[in-house]
Amino acid sequence: MVNAKYFYTQHNYYMARNQPTHKSYTIATLGSHSALGILKGAKEEGFKTLCICKPQDRITYDSFGVADKIIETASFSDFPKLKGIDNKTIFIPHGSYTAYVDMDDFPFPIFGNRELIKVESNRDTQREWIVKSGLKVPEVYHSTEDIDGLVIVKFHGAAGGKGYFLAYSRENFEEKRRRMVRAGIVTEKQLEKIHIQKYIIGVNVYASYFNSVVRDELELLCFDKRYEANVDNIGRVPAEDQIATMVTPTYTVTGNIPLSIRESLLPEFFRMGEAVARTARGLSEKGMIGPFCLENVINQKLEIITFELSARIVAGTNVDIGGGPYFHLKHGPGMHMGRRIALEIKEGIQQGMLDELLT
């Protein structure tokens, strides 16, 4: 008769010896946006790390010691020419990829779904995804003739709010547009392709999720708000002086501020995340892989209106590097988005599911 205890001890020993190890893999990313947390988290989970950065930015990655190897590049779009990247290197996409890299030509495997990153990077397809998920969205204006109240004028791509401005009528739009170009804040070229949304009065709340393919679970992990120049400090200039000097609010992101959300709002945030992940399965076969973010305004009626979606890690999760309240609740101390990504890849390798996590 087989001694069950002996059998399982032998079995575990065999499994441990033959398990594919994640330690032979490298986690890589571009040195900007959320690279510090991504690389730190990868090291914490036992991966080798690689940072590709501009020469002038090297100081950051050297100083914090998060990269085992650094490759310098003059331009982020020079990817196909880069040497020294082996075939066990997994890239983690972030905001700089959407802004500076053509994901169609990206030659290395990424953790995440590149088809969904493409859907997200076009404002029209992104909006369809949010609407299809049943979330509330701000009204969109297709012509400046239709502006009949306060609107926010945006540009394409992840430019971190740079150059956005407000207007309340067609005439006001034209005046502001001239003023913004004259001041060198936006170019005529940018103004050829604009996106006009109704401005929602409320507070902005960015909610970051993690869709775990390995654990088959959606996790709600982080909230933040942005710190933007100059809108977040314009109130320090008295109204009278604002009018006299024609100060206009702009929305250039300079950092992020951690946030804990009113607890009774959490169920709605869970439902919203679930709906977005469910819709994603209809948009791309592999569905949502890993981190994504819903960018919202909550108004005084406590309605959550979603004005943007990012199908990858957002820089707002930097507020929780080393741990944050919702990471702590779900995973215990020390978890953060970069580390959560690495943990998923590690578990994927151990369970033979890596193919499902990469595109």
The strands making up 203-212's β-sheet, listed across from edge to edge, are 251-258, 217-230, 203-212, 290-298, 304-310
CA 340/CA 83 separation, integer angstroms: 28
Among 70, 71, 108, 160, binds ligand AMP (CB under 6 A): 160
Phi, psi of 94 (to 5 degrees): -145, -165
Question: How far is the CA of 31 from the CAs of 95, 148, 186, 289, in angstroms?
Answer: 11, 43, 26, 22
State yes or no: residue 32 binds ligand AMP (CB under 6 A): yes
Q: Count residues contacting ligand AMP (CB under 6 A)?
A: 27
Which region among 18-26, 114-122, 196-204, 280-288 touches ligand AMP (by CB under 6 A)?
196-204
Q: Are 343 and 327 in contact (CB under 8 A)?
A: no
Task: Kindly tell me the burial class for residue 264, based on how many C-beta atoms sit within 10 Å of its own C-beta (0-12, 13-18, 19 or more).
Answer: exposed
Specify the DSSP element, H or E, that contains 166: strand 165-167
Of the two residues 96 and 208, which places its CB atom closer to ligand AMP in the complex?
96
State yes or no: residue 185 binds ligand AMP (CB under 6 A): no
State yes or no: residue 138 binds ligand AMP (CB under 6 A): yes
Q: Which two tokens stand for residue 136?
A: 């509330």
State yes or no: residue 129 binds ligand AMP (CB under 6 A): no
Other CB atoms within 10 A of residue 30 CB: 25
Q: Smallest distance from the beta carbon of 319 to ligand AMP, in angstroms?
A: 9
Per-residue binding string, ligand AMP, 76-115, x by CB under 6 A, is: -------------------xx--x----------------
Among 37, 41, 161, 273, binds ligand AMP (CB under 6 A): 161
Among 295, 320, 344, 347, binds ligand AMP (CB under 6 A): 295
Which region among 126-134, 159-167, 271-279, 350-358 touches ligand AMP (by CB under 6 A)?
159-167
State yes or no: residue 127 binds ligand AMP (CB under 6 A): no
The angle subtended at Cα 206 by Cα 202 and Cα 211, nearest 5°, is: 145
State yes or no: residue 307 binds ligand AMP (CB under 6 A): yes
Q: Are 312 and 93 in contact (CB under 8 A)?
A: yes
Q: Which residues here bind ligand AMP, judged by CB under 6 A?
A: 32-33, 95-96, 99, 138, 152, 154, 158-161, 164, 197, 199-200, 204, 226, 228, 251, 253, 256, 295, 297, 307-308, 315
